[in-house]
Amino acid sequence: MTEPTPHPHPLAAPPDTQVGMGQVLDPTRPAEPARPRVVEFRRVTKTYNAGRPNAFTAIRDVTFFVEDLPNKGEFVAILGPSGCGKSTILRLIAGLPPQHPATEGEVLVLGRPVTGPGSDRGMVFQDYTSFDHRTVLENITFGLECQGVPRRERNELGRQWIEHVGLSVKDDQDKYPHELSGGMRQRVAIARTLILKPRIILMDEPFGALDPITRMNMQDLLVSLWREVQATVFFVTHSIEEAVFLGDRAYVMGPCPGRILEELKIEPADRPARLMQREPRFLETVHHLRDLIVRLEAGSDLASNAGSAPSVVPQ
Ligand SMILES: Nc1ncnc2c1ncn2[C@@H]1O[C@H](COP(=O)(O)OP(=O)(O)OP(=O)(O)O)[C@@H](O)[C@H]1O
Ligand SMILES: [Mg+2]
């Protein structure tokens, strides 16, 4: 296979363009060799059902890395049209089949090739994946139970996390998932993942099913918890506002087979969502990304028509 020539995508803004709170990064910028990388994709292609008549290539030649910043993980938002391979990328990092293993290329976590799931990575899905027959406390402490942490210790920690995510020990710890609202169930899912202190948190549209006010409250909660756990977060969302609010960095993917077309560095979320999300500079970034995604969804992906495959960061 020939090396792709990294270059900005025709629909992407030129490197260094300032768009409100965001700045377009140059895909050809040199890598910082000294810094360790928390996640790295090296020319990763995933073809489902490879070698069969129904083979389907979901992502092609995806290259990027996220550095391991000391005492502060980055918040990486992944945006793009439906079906472009966002969940595929997340599940490749998680090491979950059938996305794992990649068909070509390498997926590295903390410098090592991914061989399957691990306790260094925690995943939160859209559909509140709690165990129906377990109470809130039992759900939140499930991972600790698997690790063999004694009951007293794990329940104590579990109760702290019930409070951390804004639930009540007194009222909620003995409830079962069917007795909770969607927002409460997602708080349980977040607590269940964060209690294990993973280095990498993978979130696939975690707030997609919530109403707008609950969603903003959950965004603020996530920012405050994330500061505390210092993990690197990969966050897939269809909400551009959510990506700009939460993201230190946003990747915009193009339609199938998915590739990263634009990378934006974004100012950190240092004020509540309801305040930040009405500032003109915030809205300018949102409009820039929305225009790009609308053009991609309209099928004007010039690079894929031309068959080229730009990488975000050169090898
Ligand atoms: N197990 C699978 N077998 C075959 N094809 C699959 C499989 N999983 C995903 N695909 C296909 O790969 C493509 C990318 O899927 P993926 O779920 O990664 O997209 P996505 O960007 O997360 O989409 P959405 O925004 O709708 O969640 C889609 O066309 C999908 O149909
Ligand atoms: Mg998806």
Residue 309 pLDDT exceeds 80: no
Question: Rounded CA gap, 136 and 140, in Å?
Answer: 6
- Segment 86-103, tens digit of pLDDT: 999 999 999 999 999 999
The set of residues, in sequence order, having a beta carbon less than 8 Å from that of 101 and lying 6+ positions away, is 107, 114
pLDDT confidence band for 303 (50 / 70 / 90): very low
Same domain, 93 and 6: yes
Same domain, 99 and 139: no
Per-residue model confidence (pLDDT) at position 135: 96
Residue 7 pLDDT exceeds 70: no
**Residue 56 near ligand 1, beta carbon < 6 Å:** yes
- Segment 41-72, tens digit of pLDDT: 999 999 999 999 999 999 999 999 998 877 77
Q: Locate the DSSP E strands across the chain.
A: 18-19, 22-24, 37-48, 56-67, 75-79, 104-109, 112-113, 121-124, 200-204, 232-236, 249-253, 260-266
Residue bearing the CA closest to ligand 1, atom 4: 48
Last residue of a domain, one of 142, 175, 197: 197
- Ligand 1 centroid to Cα of residue 157, in Å, is 36
Per-residue model confidence (pLDDT) at position 310: 36
Residue 285 contacts residue 23 (beta carbons within 8 Å)? no
CB atoms within 10 A of CB 29: 14
- Ligand 1 centroid to Cα of residue 48, in Å, is 9
Q: Which atom of ligand 1 is nearest to the CA of 89?
A: 18
Question: Rounded CA gap, 95 and 108, in Å?
Answer: 10
At 59, the amino acid letter reads: I
Cis peptide, bond prior to residue 272, ω within 30 of zero: no
The set of residues, in sequence order, having a beta carbon less than 8 Å from that of 156 and lying 6+ positions away, is none
pLDDT confidence band for 305 (50 / 70 / 90): very low
- Lowest average pLDDT, out of 173-187, 194-208, 300-314, goes to 300-314
Determine, yes or no, domain membership for 5: yes
Q: Is the pLDDT higher at 305 or at 56?
A: 56
Domain total of the chain = 2
Determine, yes or no, domain membership for 140: yes
Of 28, 7, 84, nearest in space to 293 by CA: 84
Same domain, 162 and 288: no
Determine, yes or no, domain membership for 294: yes
Same domain, 227 and 300: yes
Last residue of a domain, one of 170, 197, 224: 197
Same domain, 154 and 265: no
We report the CATH number of the domain holding residue 40 as 3.40.50.300
Same domain, 242 and 172: no
Most confident of 23-32, 145-154, 180-189: 145-154
Question: Rounded CA gap, 134 and 53, in Å?
Answer: 43
Residue bearing the CA closest to ligand 1, atom 2: 48
Q: Provide the total of helices (H) and of strands (E) in the chain, helices listed first.
A: 11, 12
**Residue 98 near ligand 1, beta carbon < 6 Å:** yes
Of 162, 168, 190, 176, nearest in space to 134 by CA: 176
Same domain, 142 and 269: no
Ligand 1 pocket mutation pick from 86, 123, 251, 259 by most atoms within 8 angstroms of CB? 86
Q: Which atom of ligand 1 is nearest to the CA of 238?
A: 25
Residue bearing the CA closest to ligand 1, atom 16: 85
Q: Which atom of ligand 1 is nearest to the CA of 59?
A: 14
Of 81, 66, 8, 39, nearest in space to 240 by CA: 81
Same domain, 29 and 140: no
Determine, yes or no, domain membership for 16: no
Q: For the whole model, what pTM was predicted?
A: 0.88
In the chain the first and final C-alpha atoms are separated, in Å, by 14
Q: What is the mean pLDDT of the chain?
A: 86
**Residue 58 near ligand 1, beta carbon < 6 Å:** yes
At 169, the amino acid letter reads: V
Same domain, 175 and 309: no
Of 292, 195, 188, 197, nearest in space to 243 by CA: 292
- Angle of helix 182-194 relative to helix 151-164, nearest 10 degrees, comes to 130
Q: Which atom of ligand 1 is nearest to the CA of 88?
A: 18
Token look-up 């329940």 returns 155
Determine, yes or no, domain membership for 37: yes
Domain with 167 in it? 130-197
Q: Which atom of ligand 1 is nearest to the CA of 90?
A: 18
Last residue of a domain, one of 163, 197, 231: 197
**Residue 86 near ligand 1, beta carbon < 6 Å:** yes
Determine, yes or no, domain membership for 17: no
Determine, yes or no, domain membership for 71: yes
Same domain, 179 and 245: no
